[in-house]
């Protein structure tokens, strides 16, 4: 039996026909969610002064709900030796506003904008050499003011490690409503694979997690890649190599596990509890950028952060080659989606049609 219900799509005023099988969410979790409608059309954001996009990886929305802060890895796949600004601001119409950050970041990766408008950026130096060659920068998390002033640094710049004041490869950061700071420290093989929690002043509070491919809830992660906090205060963790989102409370208690959003590289939750998940690697091809993932396709999946149902899917236009789809994702208050692409470097802007 199939139940057909008519709902307002993502609170954006567009009626959508949602078909939910009688098996409910379980069917979405067990089978590839590739066949959902795509009502979006995309365009590439422009760069200033003749610049060309490098790998982008990260994007987040300012507190006004319209401006977007984005990462550009200095026209390449890293910023070591470059005099370009890697952090750029765009207005709600996709126009460039300003930039900052030259010389402060080696391999900018994750980005988060807090309630006060401060811009947090993770800067891993990876085992495969990405970010290498930096002099006393990298392997840290930096909090910038909206004007680009460095307000706080977590970790020890230029030094990797596994103590509370060192990171091995910090991939993403998010700040809770009470100011607590969460860092995903674990981008790739040989890294710590832990979630670290700090107070608003940067004092270490706790951590959980270890490398592994165990079942959900065992506190094992592989290639931690994304963090986000929903309206209920739950912490959504992109456990990328394990092809799942694990959900915790902010004290590290395991709550739930979702596979239906595929292989998560980026996670964004908007003010209406819509969840946007970027999958930049899924494929059954060996050159796709990660372990094979059956018939799952790359792209951006959009659904509910409350019940976990997938509703829409923006597919990668080149789904069978090396990694090319969005790795970072965000959406503004009007539902305009930004996709930060790494393999075919550019920043995409998607609008409902």
Which CATH number is 157's domain given?
Answer: 2.120.10.30
* pLDDT value at 3 more than 60: no
pLDDT at 52: 96
* pLDDT value at 18 more than 50: no
Contact 227, 267 (CB under 8 A): yes
Which structural domain, as residue segments, surrounds residue 121? 2-352
* pLDDT value at 198 more than 60: yes
pLDDT at 320: 62
How many structural domains compose the chain? 1
Residue with tokens 């309630």: 115
> Residues 289-293: what's their mean pLDDT?
73
Tell me the per-residue pLDDT of 130-168, one tens digit each, with 9 for 90 and over: 767 777 899 999 999 999 999 999 999 999 999 999 999
Q: Identify the band that residue 317 occupies on the pLDDT scale cut at 50, 70 and 90.
A: confident
d(CA 335, CA 7): 16
Summary mean pLDDT of the chain: 89
Tell me the per-residue pLDDT of 54-71, one tens digit each, with 9 for 90 and over: 999 899 999 999 999 999
* pLDDT value at 7 more than 50: no
pTM for the model:
0.92
Q: Identify the band that residue 39 occupies on the pLDDT scale cut at 50, 70 and 90.
A: very high
pLDDT at 348: 95
pLDDT at 260: 97
> Residues 265-291: what's their mean pLDDT?
87
**How far are the Cα atoms of 68, 69, 121, 227, 271 from residue 64, in angstroms, in the given order?**
10, 12, 19, 21, 12
Tell me the per-residue pLDDT of 218-245, one tens digit each, with 9 for 90 and over: 999 999 999 999 999 999 999 999 999 9
pLDDT at 14: 35
């Amino acid at each position: 039996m199939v139940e057909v219900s008519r709902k307002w799509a993502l609170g954006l005023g567009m009626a959508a026909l949602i078909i939910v099988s009688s098996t409910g969410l379980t069917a979405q979790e067990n089978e590839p969610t590739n066949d959902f409608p795509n009502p979006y059309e995309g365009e590439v954001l422009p760069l200033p002064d003749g610049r060309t996009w490098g790998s982008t990886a990260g994007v987040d929305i300012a507190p006004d709900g319209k401006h977007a802060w984005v990462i550009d890895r200095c026209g390449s796949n890293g910023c070591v030796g470059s005099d370009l600004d890697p952090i750029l601001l765009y207005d709600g119409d996709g126009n460039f506003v300003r930039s900052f950050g030259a010389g402060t970041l080696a391999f900018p990766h994750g980005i988060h904008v807090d309630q006060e408008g401060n811009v947090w950026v993770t800067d891993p130096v990876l085992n495969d050499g990405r970010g290498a060659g930096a002099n006393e920068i990298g392997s840290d998390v930096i909090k910038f003011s909206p004007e680009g002033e460095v307000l706080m640094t977590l970790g020890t710049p230029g030094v990797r490690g596994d103590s509370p004041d060192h990171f091995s490869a910090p991939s993403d950061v998010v700040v809770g409503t009470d100011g607590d700071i969460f860092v995903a420290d674990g981008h790739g093989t040989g890294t710590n694979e832990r979630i670290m929690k700090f107070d608003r002043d940067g004092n270490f509070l706790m951590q959980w997690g270890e490398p592994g491919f165990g079942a959900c809830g065992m506190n094992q992660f592989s290639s931690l890649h994304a963090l986000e906090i929903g309206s209920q205060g739950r912490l959504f963790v992109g456990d990328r190599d394990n092809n799942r989102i694990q959900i915790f409370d902010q004290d590290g208690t395991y709550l739930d596990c979702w596979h239906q959003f595929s292989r998560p590289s980026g996670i964004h939750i908007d003010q209406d509890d819509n969840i946007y998940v970027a999958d930049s690697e899924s494929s059954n091809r060996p050159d796709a950028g990660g372990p094979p993932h059956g018939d799952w396709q790359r792209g951006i999946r959009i659904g509910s952060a409350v019940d976990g149902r997938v509703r829409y899917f923006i597919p990668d236009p080149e789904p069978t080659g090396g990694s090319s789809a969005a790795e970072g994702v965000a959406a503004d208050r009007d539902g305009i989606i930004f996709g930060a692409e790494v393999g075919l470097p550019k920043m995409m802007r998607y609008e409902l049609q």
